[in-house]
Structure 1
Amino acid sequence: MPFIPLPFVVALLLLILLAVVLRRDGGSTRNLPLLALIVVSIWQSVLSGLRWGYDVRAVMVLAPVGAAIVPPLAYAGVVQLVRGTRRPGAKGLMLHALPALTVCLLILASRDAIDLVLVGVFVGYALAILRLMLPGADALRLAPFEGAVPAYRAILFTAFCLLLSAAVDTFVFLDFLWTHGDHARSVVAIGNLGLLVILSIAAAATGSLPEPAVVASPPPALDAAEDAGTMAAIDTLMQAKRVYRDVDLNLDRLARKAGIPARQISVAINRATGKNVSQYVNEQRIAEACQLLAETERSVTDIMLDVGFQTKSNFNREFKRVTEMTPLQWRERASSIAI
């Protein structure tokens, strides 16, 4: 029976993940950097399989280049969720290509410095991603509200993985320095392989872009009166027009419907309710779901779809967050009270 290295199995699983994501996002504007991140992870897994499974050492010349591409792709994917699908300028492209170009030069000139450069690249981009996420889930202006919180957590996990990868590279560098690489093989094979899988899953979890972004003007300074006006306008949209039923509703789309800058909406909701916008919108959805569960015999799935959710997992998670019950428990309680 032929020997199949574990990294090849991982590469096959990642390929299946890529196919699932492409099929899932078929009708949406795809987040190309995050898709490319999965492709690079597949490539890195294949190289790892050739190196550690069949001792083909020559292929490892390419591995540092692939590693240098991973952080810029992760960062670019997050930027698209935050700022939209605008293409970066020539300076931006050159800046993000710089890590890979530097590694290429070091392969020819000084291979010993590659590990240190990669550590700096991974740490730098991890911190840049965390900086983008400082506003919380509301930073993801283009992510539908239903999945904004999971996407936010996946992005934070991505930044953590980049930092962890930097720690693995640092350990390998010190291991070669102190023990001539006695532990490097197992650490690289298990550590980086696991990180590639986690990064790919996190990239898939952040989802696609429902539509191109509209550039919003900077909001004016907000005060209590302006907050109240903003909340009144948003509440009108929620109660009168039930815009929360739009499954693709996100912060940018809500801002266009209200005619109010996205940042102003985010700040007003946070000040008035202590919640982010995705939590506020999902609570409007859950409120109607509770009413329908109590007053009708319709199925939970039909109600879930009507109020703006697309997946049972997100619906059940948000329902329990708001009511501390499952939908069926809520219906049973409502029935017992009515009797």
Structure 2
Amino acid sequence: MPFVPLSFVVAILLLVLFGASVRQLGEERPANRPLLALILVSAFLSLLSGLRWGYGVQGAIMYLAPVSAAAVPPLAYVGVTKLVRRSRAPLANRLILHALPMVAIVVLLATWRDPIDMALVLIFLGYAVAILLLMRTGTDALRLAPFEEAVPAYQAILFAALALLFSAAVDTFVFVDMTWMRGEHTPPLIAVGNLASLVLLSIAAATASRSQSATETIDATAPTETYGDKETLAAVETLMAMKHVYRDADLNLDRMARKLGVPARQVSVAINRATGKNVSQYVNEHRIAEACELLVETDKAVTEIMFEVGFQTKSNFNREFRRVTEMSPLEWREQKARAARIAIKHDP
């Protein structure tokens, strides 16, 4: 029976994950290409790992593996920035800038191979810290992610940063093992550590890639106003109450700020200070408030209500509903119906 390395199985699973992520893309929402490319690169690295440690193949793999590994952190970072801020620079230009780590590894392969492992560790550490700095303001940092998906996207991005840190730790142990113990523990470290980090990173990338908001035309000349927190919050409340913008499933911080004509950071800070909540929580609570009313006042199905108030997935709707009310939508409807029957029964 032929031997099939675990790395090959992981590569196949990552390709399946890539295919599933691509199929979930809608026509209106563009693909987060860097995060999808990250999954493919991870699958390629798993394949190379299987060839090297499973079958002892060396040759070109000794060059392809470190260069491919150097592409992983930049792809993760560029993919995250597509959810954090709009860039006027073309994606190709940004990718060229972040190709410098790969160029550095190529130069080291041609001139001085000894520090390559530690160079990769520094690349992974540097980009992990950069991603964590982007996320320092919490879910409000994801200006371009729909509010419904901000929480899972934020968690996935933090998970990706931790996976980069974990991979850097594994590479450090591999470097020590190769230097001081003649690589005695390197194969199991590669098989378990690096493969685990690639899987975790790819799952996080697939989750975050689904949070790309719909594209829309940007008016760079649109005026913006600066108000105090009270004025900003009052404008937001008016927008919510009169125009019900929270029903827009693709609503995000950037789009809300443009509707108000104020900077996105100003909206975020005003809501944070006045309510103690981030913007996604604030918007989702407006959605849940209307859902609660519809559950009591109508006989509409829970799924119909979910779509009507701006949610697109049951998992996100149920999570936010339970966060706000501490019960499920059906439990809420049954409790209110029971309370109404008791009130009628005791009404003189």
TM-score (norm 2): 0.91
How far residue 221 of structure 1 moved from its aligned partner, in angstroms, is 7.1
Residue of 186, 197, 200 corresponding to 2:199: 197
Partner of 2:300: 298
How far residue 47 of structure 1 moved from its aligned partner, in angstroms, is 0.7
Partner of 1:260: 262
Partner of 2:122: 120
How far residue 94 of structure 1 moved from its aligned partner, in angstroms, is 4.6
Given the superposition, is the C-alpha separation of residues 86 and 77 from structure 1 closer, same or farther in structure 2, using an over 3 Å criterion? farther
Extract unaligned runs of 5+ from structure 2. 342-348
Given the superposition, is the C-alpha separation of residues 137 and 219 from structure 1 closer, same or farther in structure 2, using an over 3 Å criterion? farther
Partner of 1:53: 54
Q: Which amino acid aligns with 1:312?
A: K
Pairwise mapping of residues 219-238 of structure 1 onto structure 2 (< 5 A)?
226-238=228-240
CA distance in 2, matches of 1:195, 1:35: 16
Partner of 1:44: 45
Given the superposition, is the C-alpha separation of residues 169 and 217 from structure 1 closer, same or farther in structure 2, using an over 3 Å criterion? farther
CA distance in 2, matches of 1:50, 1:217: 55
Q: Which amino acid aligns with 2:313?
A: T
CA distance in 1, matches of 2:318, 2:82: 28
Q: Are 2:224 and 2:261, in contact at CA under 8 Å, matched by a contact in 1?
A: no
Partner of 2:215: 211
CA distance in 2, matches of 1:261, 1:280: 17
Q: Which amino acid aligns with 1:315?
A: F
Given the superposition, is the C-alpha separation of residues 181 and 212 from structure 1 closer, same or farther in structure 2, using an over 3 Å criterion? farther
Given the superposition, is the C-alpha separation of residues 71 and 319 from structure 1 closer, same or farther in structure 2, using an over 3 Å criterion? same
CA distance in 2, matches of 1:213, 1:84: 12
**Quick check: 18-27 or 70-79, which moved more?**
18-27
Given the superposition, is the C-alpha separation of residues 311 and 36 from structure 1 closer, same or farther in structure 2, using an over 3 Å criterion? same
Given the superposition, is the C-alpha separation of residues 18 and 91 from structure 1 closer, same or farther in structure 2, using an over 3 Å criterion? closer
Partner of 2:328: 326
How far residue 218 of structure 1 moved from its aligned partner, in angstroms, is 11
CA distance in 1, matches of 2:284, 2:329: 14
Partner of 1:19: 19
Residue of 241, 245, 248 corresponding to 2:247: 245
Asked if residue 311 in structure 1 is aligned to residue 333 in structure 2, the reply is no
Partner of 2:171: 169
CA distance in 2, matches of 1:161, 1:216: 40
TM-score (norm 1): 0.94
Q: Which amino acid aligns with 1:287?
A: A
| CA-atom RMSD in angstroms | 2.0
How far residue 259 of structure 1 moved from its aligned partner, in angstroms, is 1.8
Q: Are 1:30 and 1:209, in contact at CA under 8 Å, matched by a contact in 2?
A: no
Extract unaligned runs of 5+ from structure 1. none
Asked if residue 7 in structure 1 is aligned to residue 7 in structure 2, the reply is yes
Partner of 1:287: 289
**Quick check: 273-282 or 90-99, which moved more?**
90-99
Q: Which amino acid aligns with 2:39?
A: I
CA distance in 1, matches of 2:187, 2:48: 14
Q: Are 1:176 and 1:182, in contact at CA under 8 Å, matched by a contact in 2?
A: yes
Q: Which amino acid aligns with 2:13?
A: L
Q: Are 2:249 and 2:312, in contact at CA under 8 Å, matched by a contact in 1?
A: yes
CA distance in 1, matches of 2:66, 2:171: 11
How far residue 26 of structure 1 moved from its aligned partner, in angstroms, is 3.4
Partner of 1:75: 77
CA distance in 2, matches of 1:218, 1:239: 23
Write out per-residue CA displacement over residues 245-298 of structure 1, whole angstroms, 9 at most, x where no aligned residue: 110000111112222221111111001100110000000001111111112221
How far residue 22 of structure 1 moved from its aligned partner, in angstroms, is 1.2
Q: Are 2:74 and 2:127, in contact at CA under 8 Å, matched by a contact in 1?
A: yes
Q: Which amino acid aligns with 1:136?
A: G
Q: Which amino acid aligns with 1:8?
A: F
Partner of 1:155: 157
Write out per-residue CA displacement over residues 75-133 of structure 1, whole angstroms, 9 at most, x where no aligned residue: 10111111125435898545411111111122222222101101111111111111111
**How many equivalent pairs are there?**
336
How far residue 135 of structure 1 moved from its aligned partner, in angstroms, is 1.4
Pairwise mapping of residues 264-279 of structure 1 onto structure 2 (< 5 A)?
264-279=266-281
Q: Are 1:83 and 1:213, in contact at CA under 8 Å, matched by a contact in 2?
A: no
Q: Percent identity?
A: 62
CA distance in 2, matches of 1:72, 1:260: 32
Write out per-residue CA displacement over residues 42-78 of structure 1, whole angstroms, 9 at most, x where no aligned residue: 1111111211222212223311111100011111011
CA distance in 2, matches of 1:30, 1:17: 15
CA distance in 1, matches of 2:261, 2:10: 47
